[in-house]
Amino acid sequence: MPKRPLHLLIFTDLDGTLLDHKSYSAKPADRLIATLSAQAMADIIPVTSKTYSELLWLKQDVPLPFVFCVTENGSVIHRPVDYFPINGEPSPVVTLGVPYQEILNQVAAVPPALRRHITGFADMSVEQIADATGLAFDDASRAKDRQATEPFLWFGSDSELGALQAIIGEAGLRIQRGGRFYHLTGHATKDQAMNFIVKSIAGQRPDCDIISVALGDGPNDLAMIEAADFGVIMPNPDGVTIESSKAHVRTASRPGPEGWVRAVTEIMAELGLNLRQS
C-alpha cells in the first residue's frame, strides 16, 4: 500500500519566535516560508496576540503567505470560508472566545464603584491609546480594531480587582495581566484554536496525513506547543525560557527566525521531507 503524503501545519507565534525580538525581521525564515508555500508542503499559520488588522498590516512587510491565522491569543480564527461552516453556512471568521460587543456589554454591567476604575480601549480615543502604548497613531488604530478581547488600564486596588474578577467570571470572562494593560477575554486559548484548525483541515484533506508543528516563546504558547505533534520552544535572548517535560517538545538552538529555520528544517528531515531544488 503506498505511503500517504504528509502535509505540515506550522503554527507559529510571531514576536520573538518567527520575528526577531528587536528588529521584527523574519530573515532568514522568510526564504523557507516562501519555499514551503510554493511547493505546497506546509501551511504557515500565525497564532498571535495581535488583532486581525495588525496582522494584515504586518503581512505587507513580512512575507506571511497564510491562508489561516489565529488572532487575539486564540480568540478568533480567520479563513478560508469553505473550511468553517457555521450552522451549515460558510463563514470567514470563527470566534472561539467571546465576541467583542458582548465583552463591552459585560463591562457596562459592572457596578459603578468598580467600573470607574476601568479604562478600556473602547473608552479611549486612538490618540489616547497611542499615548498609553507608545504606538504610532496608525498602529494604535489597528490595535483598537478588536474582535474578542478588551485591553484595559486598572486604577483600583488589588481587592477591588479581585471583586471585578469574581463578577466577570460569573459572566464567562476572565482577566489576564499583560505588562501595563490587563485584558478581558473569554476562555479561548491558542491550543484550542490550533486543534480546531487541524481537525478542519484534516476533514478537507483526507488524502494526506496532517502533521502539526507549533513554535513559540511565551507562557501563553506552551499549551499549544505541547498539544502539537512536534513542539518547539524558542529561547528568549534575555535567557528566560519556558520549559516542558514532554518528549516531543524540543528547544530551538537559537532564538528568533534563525532558530525557527533550524527547528523546522530538523523536523522536516526527521519526517523524510525534502524540499525540491529549483
Catalytic sites, residue numbers: 13
Query: What gap in Å lies between CA 198 and CA 204, rounded to an integer?
Result: 10
Query: What gap in Å lies between CA 172 and CA 176, rounded to an integer?
Result: 13
- Dihedral of CA 177/182/184/188: which sign? negative
- Residue pair 149/103 in contact by the 8 Å Cβ criterion: yes
- Residue pair 217/235 in contact by the 8 Å Cβ criterion: yes
- Dihedral of CA 141/146/151/152: which sign? positive
Nearest to 100 by CA among 71, 127, 61: 71
| Amino acid code (one letter) for 139 | D
Nearest to 84 by CA among 201, 175, 5: 201
DSSP lists the bridge partners of residue 42 as 8
- Spatial neighbors of 173 by CB under 8 A, at least 6 apart, are 98, 103, 106, 184, 185, 186
Query: What gap in Å lies between CA 226 and CA 13, rounded to an integer?
Result: 14
- Residue 78: phi, psi to the nearest 5? -120, 130
204: enclosing H helix or E strand: helix 190-204
